């Protein structure tokens, strides 16, 4: 089977990581794959914030958990929304346009590039809760999100510390072909 297709079919969310940094060269390759994702009219109106500083990653996790708690979405005191991964990438996009689709394409490229290089990843939607906490830390400034852009989603990645889970069966009768 083609390696790309194999990676697509076998990629799973990883929620346990080794305490081991991702080499800079691999990280740059993963980011490059994200930057080469398709975008509406090739405008590439996205911004990636790559975080390897564990103190910042922990701070972001704490802020998201605080926001979730404030909204009544408690996950538990021991949770870390990034599963203690050594790398977090926050994706942001221009406020107007097809930002969700564009960022989704970039996000999937990042996840597949990580898989191709032997890393695990997990897409994290909970970072949106960072904006719902009591403290006044300016999240956009902390994440270097440019003016006119807004946070979309995040992904964490690193060396897996668990076996990839088996794929769940795909739903049936959800594809129609018109020939």
> Does the residue 170 lie in any domain?
no
For residues 31 and 48, is the Cβ–Cβ distance under 8 A? yes
CATH of the domain at 66: 3.40.109.10
Provide the H-helix boundaries in 40-138.
54-70, 99-116
> Does the residue 173 lie in any domain?
no
Q: What is the pLDDT of residues 104-155, one digit of tens each?
A: 999 999 999 999 999 999 999 999 999 888 776 789 999 999 999 999 999 9
Mean pLDDT of 18-43: 96
Element (H, E) at 14: none
Distance from C-alpha of 13 to C-alpha of 131, rounded to nearest angstrom: 25
> Does the residue 8 lie in any domain?
no
* Residue 59, pLDDT score: 94
Q: How many domains does the chain have?
A: 1
Token pair for residue 38? Answer: 């398709």
Q: Is the pLDDT of residue 77 over 60?
A: no
Which of 24, 87, 78, 79 minimizes the C-alpha distance to 57?
87
> Does the residue 172 lie in any domain?
no
* Residue 53, pLDDT score: 97
Residue 73 CA from chain centroid, whole number: 20
Q: Which domain holds residue 98?
A: 17-158
> Does the residue 24 lie in any domain?
yes
Taking each helix axis from N to C terminus, what angle separates 24-35 and 99-116, rounded to the nearest 10 degrees? 140
Strand partners, 124: 154
> Does the residue 1 lie in any domain?
no
For residues 37 and 106, is the Cβ–Cβ distance under 8 A? yes
> Does the residue 169 lie in any domain?
no
> Does the residue 164 lie in any domain?
no
């Amino acid at each position: 089977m083609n390696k790309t297709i194999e990676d697509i079919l076998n990629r799973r969310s990883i929620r346990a990581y080794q305490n081991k940094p991702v080499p800079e060269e691999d990280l740059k390759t993963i980011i490059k794959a994200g930057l080469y994702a398709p975008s509406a009219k090739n405008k590439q109106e996205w911004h990636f914030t790559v975080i390897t500083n564990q103190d910042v990653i922990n701070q972001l996790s704490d802020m998201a958990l605080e926001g979730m708690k404030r909204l009544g979405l408690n996950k538990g005191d021991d949770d870390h929304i990034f599963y203690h991964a050594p790398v977090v990438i926050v994706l942001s996009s221009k406020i107007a346009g097809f930002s969700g689709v564009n960022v989704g394409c970039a996000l999937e490229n990042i996840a597949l590039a990580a898989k191709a290089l032997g890393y695990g990843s997990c897409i994290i939607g909970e970072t949106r809760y960072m904006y719902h906490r009591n403290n006044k830390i300016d999240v956009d400034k902390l994440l270097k999100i440019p003016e006119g852009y807004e946070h979309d989603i995040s992904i964490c990645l690193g060396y897996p510390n668990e076996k990839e889970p088996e794929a769940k069966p795909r739903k049936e009768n959800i594809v129609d072909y018109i020939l």
